[in-house]
Structure 1
Amino acid sequence: MNEHTLSMRLERVATHVPQGARLADIGSDHGYLPVALMLRERIEYAVAGEVASPPHAAAQRNVRKQGLESRIAVRLADGLAAIVPEDRITAVSLCGMGGETLCEILEAGRARLAGVERLVLQPNGAEPQVRQWLMSNGYRIVAEEVLREHRFDYEIIVAEPGHAAYSPQQLYFGPLLMRDHGQAFHVKWQRMLGQKKQTLANFAQARVAVPPAKVADFEQQVDWITRLLAERPHLED
């Protein structure tokens, strides 16, 4: 992966960044996403924010290499603190971090999201918590997808300001994914079903009793997954 050729995951993220956006890519690592989008003339301006010095320096090098210093600001900052009002940011991307961390960044920087028209999120796990944060903070989910790359399943969640009310199952699977789920979604949840059943079997054999509430939670998840997969019985693994 480089500033010209993105990973499959980041290519899919890129498709959800609106044409002409002013993008803040938080946790930008090497700055590959904003640099690629700028080279493709997809965005007007970008901030590449990074909290750690080595990836911040790498992003600076990549931006400088492409002669984009006037169009991409690379900043060493914690989360959304990388954004200043003068940036007039319209889209924010947060990718490749744990879902809990992603929610913490959004919560800590809520005031800096004023004027932002789209959030493009790719959490590594804890997707239900991310959807819960969005619903609780005045965002509706407008696009979702699942993809598998290098033996990992990734979900992309795209949200815009607006009212939404999601059920517990919709928060768990994704409101759009559970309605239109396809091959990648089906394969992911077949795999997850096996893992959840194995966990329940391990609970039953544990030397120390597992709290009943935890057992009930896993049983609920197994039931939800089984029912949802039964709606598309003819999809092949």
Structure 2
Amino acid sequence: MTNNIKLSKRLKQTASYLPMGANFADIGSDHAYLPCYVCLKDKQAKAIAGEINDGPFQSATQTVREHGLEEVVDVRLGDGLDVLTADEVTQVVIAGMGGALIRSILQKGINKLESVERIIAQPNVDARDVREWFKNNNFIITEETIIEENGHIYEIVVGDRHSGVVYPELSQKQLLFGPLLLENKPEAFYTKWAEEYEKLNRVISQMRLAKHLNSEKLNRFETELRWMEEVLQYDGKSKQ
């Protein structure tokens, strides 16, 4: 039995948003490193590690066994939130997937979320999809982080269940960039959106050459490109 697990920077940051004594599910847990890491550090924490594929499920089971955590980390095989019963956990972690897939998992398993107070999502792409789901399902974005690791940029978005507090409606611009990231703009924020600006600029150029122009989509992309220019030039930052 070993008591040491080394997490990636993005997973360690994701885990940091769990409260002490967390009772949580890690959906798409892979090797169950995150729940084991949390439960080794916090003796009051309990976790369910969900995995849809048998190979990672077996790896997760082995990780839990190696660390002697069978009593506090329950590894389950199943699709998304299907591994849970109603009112079983109070936090949900979904990390390392696309934002559209995270949104789909949350929507499909929405009946399993009634007891959940916090959702911690780490989408690899399309974080806007997660923010839109939070907005439409009474979860307030309370934390956002953007980090760079091994040449990749990751966003982490934390949603807490709405408790009757009046919260301003998020604009499409805030959903794209993140309302809290727009306020703070860490260095990785500029790196990400400089890259996205160049990509979108190329897409727009190609669209303008097409025989059949999708005007609605082009207008949306041009609006988003202007938003990127605005945020990249703010505080003297250049999109170059």
Q: TM-score range by the shorter chain?
A: over 0.9
What residue is the counterpart of 1:218 in the other structure? 221
Q: Which residue of 1 aligns with 2:197?
A: 193
After the TM superposition, which residues 46-195 of structure 1 pair with which residues of structure 2 at under 5 Å, given as runs? 46-85=47-86, 88-162=88-162, 164=167, 165-195=169-199
RMSD: 1.9
TM-score by length of 2: 0.92
Amino acid at match of 2:29: S
1:232 is paired with a residue of what secondary structure?
Answer: helix
Give the drift of 1:109: 1.0
Relative distance call for 1:105 and 1:43 in structure 2 (3 A) is farther
Calculate the TM-score normalised by the size of structure 1: 0.93
| CA distance in structure 2 between the aligned counterparts of 1:236 and 1:3, rounded to whole angstroms | 42
| Contact preservation (8 Å) 1:22, 1:90 | yes
Q: Secondary structure at the match of 2:179?
A: coil
Residues 13-24 of structure 1: pairs in structure 2 closer than 5 A: 13-24=14-25
Shift of 1:19: 1.1
Moved more, 115-124 or 76-85: 76-85
- AA matched with 2:53: A
- Cα deviation code 1:17-63 (max 9, x no counterpart): 11110110000000000001111126521000011100000000000
Q: Which runs of 5+ in 1 are unaligned?
A: none
SS of the residue corresponding to residue 176 of structure 1 reads helix
Aligned residues of 2:170 and 2:179 also touching (Cα < 8 A): yes
Structure 2 gaps of 5+ residues are: none
Aligned to 2:7: 6
Whole-angstrom CA distance in 2 between matches of 1:43 and 1:143: 23
CA shift digits 1:190-237 (9 cap, x unpaired) = 11111111212222334x333111211111111011112222224898
8 Å CA contact retained: 1:144, 1:155: yes
Structure 1 residues 203 and 85 mapped into 2: Cα distance closer, same or farther (>3 Å)?
A: closer
Q: Report how many aligned residue pairs link the two structures.
A: 234
8 A Cα contact 1:3 1:62, kept in partner: no
Which stretch of the first structure deviates more once superposed, 37-46 or 224-233? 37-46
